[in-house]
């Protein structure tokens, strides 16, 4: 049996384990560019380079770019990115909620695109007035309202792949095998997006509950990837249960949040070691007792209070 054949057979279970649990969600954007090719060459040294002309203020595209970033954040709230497929792996039970959120973004995008198309004429004229030496080229090259509409689009969809139909060379297997670690990294990114990495830990607003609850929901839905993800869900659930429902989060509660957040920000260590756990009772006595002739009875490990453990980290 060749190495290639062996790799494909060993890859199938991991691929099936993920693909059987998720839908794949894709969104793509196109945004009209203010930069146009003049069609003339400019000699620089021994090379002829294109001459480009800005036809309207690039700042006008900021709202559209913000929508694109919002779509990325929302997809990351629900699932994790599969780079090989350029799609987000989203648990089936969460897919419709994500599609509903993307529909809202698409509606907002359409409004912004139409506003840009309707105002492109005045925007070009203003840019030409601000740049009189280039005004002729600006007006000649500027996109029309219809060109803006055609070039400014937001599209999205979801689909499923049957693992039995995948003929993998090893790339998809490697990608899907790393999703648990990537999900841990996405938790850290979400905390940074919310600026929790900058909080001193002395006081939190109730907004931290929303952030942790969102991550807890994602961790619970992605727990099939790895026991570490399930552990994150348990820690966040127990932490949220301890936090006050109203008012600022201070004192011991703030210490708890700070500990959990700091551990999740160090996502590589968290994935490697898990959350800090309380020292087992009587561990010193057991170490000093020496060997015994009878093998001790085996009992299941106790349930760890991860929220309490976070305070000891």
The strand pairing partners of 50, in sequence order, are 41
- Which of 167, 166, 216 minimizes the C-alpha distance to 191? 216
Token readout for 305 is: 């209070």
Beta strand pairing status for 153-159 and 87-91? unpaired
What is the distance between the alpha carbons of residues 263 and 261, in angstroms, rounded to a whole number?
5
Mean pLDDT over all residues of the chain?
86
Buried b / exposed e along 99-109 (16+ C-beta atoms within 10 A): bebbeebbebb
Token readout for 15 is: 């691929």
Residue 284: the pLDDT is 41
> Quick one: DSSP state of residue 155?
E
Is the pLDDT at 279 greater than 70? The verdict is no
Q: What is the pLDDT of residues 49-64, one digit of tens each?
A: 787 899 999 999 999 9
Residue 35: the pLDDT is 93
Is the pLDDT at 209 greater than 50? The verdict is yes
Instruction: Give the burial class of 120: count Cβ atoms within 10 A of its Cβ; 0-12 exposed, 13-18 middle, 19 or more buried.
Output: buried
Q: Give me the half-sphere count of Cα atoms (radius 13 Å) on the Cβ side of residue 290.
A: 1
Q: In degrees to the nearest 10, what's the CA dihedral of 50, 51, 56, 61?
A: 30
Token readout for 127 is: 């840019």
Q: What is the pLDDT of residues 59-116, one digit of tens each?
A: 999 999 999 999 999 999 999 999 989 999 999 999 999 999 999 999 999 999 999 9
């Amino acid at each position: 049996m060749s190495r290639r054949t062996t790799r494909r057979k060993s890859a199938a279970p991991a691929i099936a384990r993920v693909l059987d649990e998720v839908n794949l969600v894709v969104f793509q954007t196109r945004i009209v560019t203010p930069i146009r090719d003049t069609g003339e060459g400019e000699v620089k040294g021994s090379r002829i380079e294109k001459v480009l002309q800005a036809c309207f203020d690039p700042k006008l595209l900021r709202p559209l770019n913000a929508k694109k970033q919002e779509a990325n954040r929302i997809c990351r709230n629900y699932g994790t990115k599969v780079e090989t497929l350029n799609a987000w792996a989203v648990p089936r039970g969460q897919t419709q909620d994500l599609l509903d959120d993307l529909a809202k973004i698409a509606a907002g995008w359409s409004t912004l695109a139409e506003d840009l198309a309707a105002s492109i004429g005045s925007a070009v004229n203003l840019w030409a007035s601000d740049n009189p030496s280039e005004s002729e080229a600006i007006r000649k090259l500027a996109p029309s309202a219809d060109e803006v509409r055609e070039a400014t689009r937001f599209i999205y969809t979801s689909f499923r792949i049957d693992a039995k139909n995948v003929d993998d060379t090893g790339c998809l297997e490697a990608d899907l095998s790393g999703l648990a670690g990537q999900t841990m990294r996405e938790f850290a990114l979400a905390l940074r997006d919310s600026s929790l990495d900058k909080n001193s830990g002395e006081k939190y607003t109730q907004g931290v509950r929303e952030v942790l609850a969102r991550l807890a929901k994602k961790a619970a839905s992605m727990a099939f990837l790895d026991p570490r993800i399930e552990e994150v869900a348990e820690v966040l659930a127990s932490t949220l249960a301890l936090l006050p429902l109203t008012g600022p989060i201070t004192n011991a509660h703030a210490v708890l949040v700070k500990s959990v957040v700091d551990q999740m920000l160090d996502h590589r260590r968290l994935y490697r070691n898990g959350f800090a756990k309380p020292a087992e009772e009587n561990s010193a006595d057991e170490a000093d007792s020496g060997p015994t002739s009878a093998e001790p009875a085996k009992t299941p490990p106790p349930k760890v209070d991860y929220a309490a453990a976070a305070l000891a980290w």
